[in-house]
């Protein structure tokens, strides 16, 4: 096969360069050579017919859990990367809550080596804020940055100590690493397992108030003001958190935020409608209709910079339990596009804004290459069929895990081809589903 790839006749949506129209994308030697309306194709070039499809920069996910090292029965770097490219994601950021925690160069290097061996999506490790993510002592940020970490997080847990969080923000500045924070006040969470509201009362499940997230977001914004550090708020889920981020941005603070497809699409009442399915249990929990509306608005107006999946694979061992006892989290890489496209089609936000929140928006936050089809950029590309209908069958996921709330759901929109560095790493053959 030649090194030249022509993706012809698709609707090219590249928010970073302001392109939205029918174009041909020319890839040569692993890079974007040209995006043009008319371009002569040489004989030895491979042509891909993209008519009726979207051609976008490969998606960038700031928040995935790949479970390796330590919990390879749930996911490995390879299976996670395979799920990523099947969903159109060419870059994923791997959270550090593995076993052991990624709080030192040897874990970072292992993740990078596994990703290189898999040769699928680009995998960017996120290092821990504190050693073991135990919230006691800061990790060595210089070592983590030198090994290849692009951000720091104790995701899965909040940084409970305000003093430690202050020092983390100060220390991370020296390495220009953003802190991506899982915001919950554990005292307010208590034994809560779903959003605190009418639904939790009716179902008789212990609730987690929206304020558990909001007080921590507000605390960290105050600490950003104190330190001049950089804060990225993971999985924003409440109206108050959206409002706090919006106001902080207006004041010029260095804060960014992400939202998950499930917090944009589902609400607390869906826990009841699902019959207490543990595939509707995650942290933060599915919130009220007002919170969902605020998240959609926040995405539309740019308060929320990125869509991130929080892809959290768990096996049946952790999920086939009573609601109270089951682990938090769902897989998301292979359904994100279809879930969000349905929301865009229903008018929650624009289609270009959707692509931006999956590409240049997240790339900018962590300073990652990619997220654009600009000439000379790495040729990371997704070809998407917005009309392709399919039924979600977790048994067919590339991910090792099956914990999806979309099981059995009819969807429209699929990734049909994914290119990383000019190489086709995922290609859907006709009739696969």
Query: What's the closest the beta carbon of residue 282 comes to Zn ion, in angstroms?
Result: 9
- Return d(Cα 177, Cα 147) in angstroms, integer: 13
Under 8 Å CB-to-CB from 72, ≥6 apart: which residues?
none
Which residue stretch of 119-127, 154-162, 294-302, 344-352 sits at the interface with Zn ion (rule: CB under 5 A)? 154-162
3-state helix vs strand vs coil in the chain, percent to 5: 35, 25, 40
Exposure b/e, 175-209, CB count within 10 A at least 16 = b: eebbbbbbbbbeebbeebbbbbbebbeebebebbb
Which residue stretch of 40-48, 293-301, 302-310, 410-418 sits at the interface with Zn ion (rule: CB under 5 A)? 302-310
**268 or 310: whose CB is closer to Zn ion?**
310
Query: What's the closest the beta carbon of residue 267 comes to Zn ion, in angstroms?
Result: 19
**196 or 310: whose CB is closer to Zn ion?**
310
With CB under 5 A as the contact rule, the residue among 8, 154, 155, 378 that binds Zn ion is: 155
Query: What's the closest the beta carbon of residue 30 comes to Zn ion, in angstroms?
Result: 31
- Return d(Cα 219, Cα 162) in angstroms, integer: 8
- Return d(Cα 224, Cα 349) in angstroms, integer: 29
Tell me which of 14, 103, 154, 310 is the catalytic residue.
310
Query: What's the closest the beta carbon of residue 240 comes to Zn ion, in angstroms?
Result: 18
- Return d(Cα 221, Cα 22) in angstroms, integer: 42
CB 241 within 8 A of CB 284: no
Restricting to residues 102-121, name those near Zn ion by CB under 5 A.
none
CB 223 within 8 A of CB 165: yes
**32 or 216: whose CB is closer to Zn ion?**
216
**23 or 182: whose CB is closer to Zn ion?**
182
Which residue stretch of 49-57, 83-91, 113-121, 155-163 sits at the interface with Zn ion (rule: CB under 5 A)? 155-163
- For position 310 contacting Zn ion by CB under 5 A, the verdict is yes
**258 or 310: whose CB is closer to Zn ion?**
310
**162 or 328: whose CB is closer to Zn ion?**
328
**HSE on the CB side for 272, CA within 13 Å?**
15
To the query of whether residue 270 is one of the catalytic residues in this protein, the response is no
Handedness of CA 144, 146, 148, 153 (dihedral sign): positive
Which H helix or E strand runs over 194? strand 194-195
With CB under 5 A as the contact rule, the residue among 53, 122, 167, 182 that binds Zn ion is: 182
Tokens describing residue 377: 């950029």
Which residue stretch of 20-28, 29-37, 171-179, 306-314 sits at the interface with Zn ion (rule: CB under 5 A)? 306-314
Q: Which residue of the chain is nearest Zn ion when measured via CB?
A: 182
DSSP for residue 396: G
Query: What's the closest the beta carbon of residue 312 comes to Zn ion, in angstroms?
Result: 6
DSSP for residue 341: H
- For position 75 contacting Zn ion by CB under 5 A, the verdict is no
Query: What's the closest the beta carbon of residue 384 comes to Zn ion, in angstroms?
Result: 25
Which residue stretch of 109-117, 186-194, 310-318, 404-412 sits at the interface with Zn ion (rule: CB under 5 A)? 310-318
- For position 67 contacting Zn ion by CB under 5 A, the verdict is no
CB 120 within 8 A of CB 92: no
The string of DSSP codes covering 216-277 is: HHHHHHHHHHHH---EEE-S--SHHHHHHHHHHHHTT-SEEEEE-HHHHH--THHHHHTTS-
**262 or 414: whose CB is closer to Zn ion?**
262
Which H helix or E strand runs over 351? helix 351-358
Query: What's the closest the beta carbon of residue 315 comes to Zn ion, in angstroms?
Result: 17
Q: Which residues are tagged catalytic?
A: 310
Residues making contact with Zn ion (CB under 5 A): 155, 182, 310
């Amino acid at each position: 096969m030649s090194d030249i790839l022509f993706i012809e006749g698709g609707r090219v949506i590249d928010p970073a360069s302001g392109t939205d129209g029918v174009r041909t994308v020319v890839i040569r030697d692993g890079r974007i050579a040209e995006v043009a309306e008319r371009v002569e194709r040489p004989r030895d070039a491979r042509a891909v017919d993209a008519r009726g499809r979207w051609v976008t920069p490969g998606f960038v996910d700031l928040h995935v859990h790949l479970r390796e090292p330590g919990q390879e029965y749930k996911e490995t770097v390879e299976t996670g990367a395979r799920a990523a490219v099947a969903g159109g994601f060419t870059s994923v950021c791997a959270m550090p809550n593995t076993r052991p925690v990624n709080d030192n160069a040897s874990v970072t290097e292992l993740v990078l080596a596994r990703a290189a061996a898999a040769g699928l999506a680009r995998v960017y490790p996120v290092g821990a804020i504190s050693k073991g993510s135990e919230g006691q002592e800061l990790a060595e940020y210089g070592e983590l940055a030198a090994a290849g970490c692009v951000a720091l997080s104790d995701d899965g847990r909040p940084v409970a100590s305000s003093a430690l969080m202050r020092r983390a923000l100060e220390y991370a500045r020296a390495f220009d690493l953003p802190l991506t924070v899982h915001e919950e006040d554990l005292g307010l969470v208590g034994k809560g397992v779903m959003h605190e509201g009418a639904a939790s009362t009716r179902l008789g499940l212990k609730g987690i108030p929206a304020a558990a997230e909001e007080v921590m977001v507000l605390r960290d914004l105050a600490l950003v003001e104190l330190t001049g550090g950089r804060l990225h708020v993971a999985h924003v889920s409440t109206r108050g958190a959206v409002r706090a981020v919006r106001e902080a941005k207006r004041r010029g603070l260095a804060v960014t935020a992400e939202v998950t497809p499930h917090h944009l699409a589902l609400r607390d009442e869906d826990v009841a409608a699902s019959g207490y399915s543990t595939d509707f249990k995650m942290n933060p929990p599915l919130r009220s209709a007002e919170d969902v509306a605020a998240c959609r608005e926040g995405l539309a107006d740019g308060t929320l910079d990125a869509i991130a999946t929080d892809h959290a694979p768990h096996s049946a061992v952790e999920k086939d339990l009573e609601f109270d006892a089951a682990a938090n989290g769902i897989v998301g890489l292979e359904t994100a596009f279809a879930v969000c496209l349905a929301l865009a089609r229903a008018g929650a936000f624009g289609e270009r804004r959707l692509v931006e929140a999956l590409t240049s928006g997240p790339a900018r936050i962590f300073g990652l290459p990619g997220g654009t089809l600009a000439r000379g950029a790495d040729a990371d590309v997704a070809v998407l069929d917005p009309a392709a209908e399919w039924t979600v069958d977790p048994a067919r996921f590339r991910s090792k895990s099956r914990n999806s709330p979309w099981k059995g759901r009819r969807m429209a929109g699929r990734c049909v081809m994914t290119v990383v560095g000019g190489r086709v790493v995922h290609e859907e053959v006709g009739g696969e589903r």
